Every structure is written in C-alpha cells, then in structure tokens.
C-alpha cells in the first residue's frame, strides 16, 4: 500500500483507477501511457502549469527520466525535481541507470539539475517552492540556459494532512505563468491519493485551475 518515504525499491500499488472526474470542456484530462504523456509535456511551452496523475512509481520514473534527459542534454534547461515517494538518492539512481543513463554529476555541479525532497522544498516557505523557482529562472537567464522545468510531487502535503494548505497553495499559483518567466511546472499526484484525499469539488477546482491535466496510465 502507499506509505510514507520510499527507498529505491519500486512500489506498485494495486488500485482500480477512476477516470470519471468533473471538469469543464477546456480542462478535459488527457489520458495516456508514458509515450503519449511525454509527447504532451515535451511540447509544453514556457508558462505551462500542468497537473499529472500517475498510477505508480515505475510509470512515473519512465516518464520523468526521459523528460529530464531531453531537458538537460538537448534543450539546455535547468531541471528541478522534488520527489516524495522515493528518496533523492533514489532519483539519482534512476537517472544514472537504465531509465536515462545520464552522467548527472556535472549537471548537479553546475546547478542544471537540482533534486530536493518534496517535504523540504514545499515546507521551507509560505510560498512553497516558488521562491526557489523564481531564483533559478533568474539564474537560467544569467547563465545562458533556455529556462527551467520542474516536477513536484505533492504527496508531502498529504503526509502532514495538509490538504487545505495544498489547495490554498495550488490555487494561489496562476493557471499559466508569464511566458517571459521561462518556467514550466508539473504538479505530480499519485492517483490513489488524488481520488481519496480530495472532495469532488476540490478535484474539480484543481483540474479547472491547471493549464492542462494529464492522467498517466501504466
């Protein structure tokens, strides 16, 4: 079952997923496997603020590792990832081995790749991770980088039973950032938590607030 902090081990969860959410026609979720989801996020413009529901860590790893590889190697971006159900070292292991096979040491040294525990990243400021993201956008401009992409697992809010704080935080962000900011953020939710922790109204609010909604399938 879904538990707190994970190690490097896979935690596949047996769960009958429900894709029947309330939404307006402009925010209809796009349901697809890793290939289709990657296509959507690879084509996201700067300013994107997307919500991604993922079914398990294995599928999530396949998705974020390929995006990060492209971001670092081909697009000259700064990449930030805030994991929760896997450790920082676990993410490093994913990126350096079969999933992406990236030599991450140089990228971390030059601050092109930043991996921070979600619990630390979102609880460090009343504004969550946004002060860090804004700082890194400025750094990207000054260092000749194309921009910043960020994956943030919102499970840390559930860990502290802060669903109301999570709603407040998400709704405080724009549905789309100023494109001049050169920032893309992808809010990650384990679908089991999304289905069980939020009311139908809260789900509708979150789906309606993000610029795009993606449901990643196994």
Q: Which CATH number fits the domain that encloses residue 212?
A: 3.40.50.300
Residue 28's pLDDT band (boundaries 50, 70, 90)? Answer: confident
Domain that residue 135 falls in? 34-216
Please, what is the angle between helix 88-96 and helix 57-73, to 10°? 70
Structure confidence by residue, pLDDT tens digits, 181-194: 999 999 999 999 99
Chain-centre distance for alpha carbon 42: 13
- pLDDT > 80? residue 39: yes
Alpha-carbon distances, residue 141 vs 46, 105, 151, 156, 201 (angstroms):
13, 22, 20, 30, 39
Query: How confident is the model over 152-171, as a mean pLDDT?
Result: 91
Tell whether 14 is covered by a domain.
no
Tell whether 7 is covered by a domain.
no
Q: Which are the contacts of 4, defined by CB distance < 8 A and separation ≥ 6?
A: 159
- pLDDT > 90? residue 126: no
Q: Please give the Cα distance from 44 to 152 (Å, whole number).
A: 16
Residue 147's pLDDT band (boundaries 50, 70, 90)? Answer: very high
Query: How confident is the model over 130-151, as a mean pLDDT?
Result: 96
Q: Which residue has the higher pLDDT, 25 or 127?
A: 127
Tell whether 169 is covered by a domain.
yes
Alpha-carbon distances, residue 214 vs 33, 53, 70 (angstroms):
10, 6, 19
Domain count, the chain: 1
Q: Please give the Cα distance from 54 to 118 (Å, whole number).
A: 16
Confidence at residue 21, expressed as pLDDT on a 0 to 100 scale:
59
Tell whether 43 is covered by a domain.
yes
Tell whether 112 is covered by a domain.
yes
Confidence at residue 128, expressed as pLDDT on a 0 to 100 scale:
84
Tell whether 146 is covered by a domain.
yes
Structure confidence by residue, pLDDT tens digits, 62-94: 999 999 999 999 999 999 999 999 999 999 999
Tell whether 18 is covered by a domain.
no
- pLDDT > 50? residue 42: yes
SS3 113: strand
């Amino acid at each position: 079952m879904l538990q707190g902090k994970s190690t490097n081990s896979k935690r596949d969860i047996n769960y009958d997923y429900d894709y029947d959410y309330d939404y307006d026609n402009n925010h209809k979720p796009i349901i697809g496997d890793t290939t289709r989801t990657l296509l959507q996020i690879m084509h996201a413009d700067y300013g994107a603020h997307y919500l991604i529901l993922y079914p398990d860590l294995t599928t999530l790893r396949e998705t974020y590792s390929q995006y990060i590889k492209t971001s670092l190697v081909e697009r000259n971006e700064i990449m930030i990832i805030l994991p929760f159900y896997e450790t920082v070292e676990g993410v490093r292991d994913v990126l350096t081995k079969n999933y992406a096979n990236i030599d991450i040491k140089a990228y971390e040294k030059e601050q092109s790749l930043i991996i921070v525990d979600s619990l630390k990243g979102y609880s460090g400021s009343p504004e969550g991770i946004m002060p860090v993201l804004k700082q890194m956008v400025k750094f990207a401009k000054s260092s000749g980088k194309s921009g910043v992409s960020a994956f943030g697992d919102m499970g840390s809010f559930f860990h502290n039973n802060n669903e109301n704080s999570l709603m407040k935080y998400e709704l405080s962000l724009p549905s789309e950032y100023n494109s001049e900011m050169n920032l893309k953020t992808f809010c990650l939710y384990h679908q089991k938590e999304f289905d069980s922790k939020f009311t139908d109204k809260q789900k509708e609010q979150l789906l309606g607030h993000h610029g795009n909604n993606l449901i990643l399938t196994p």
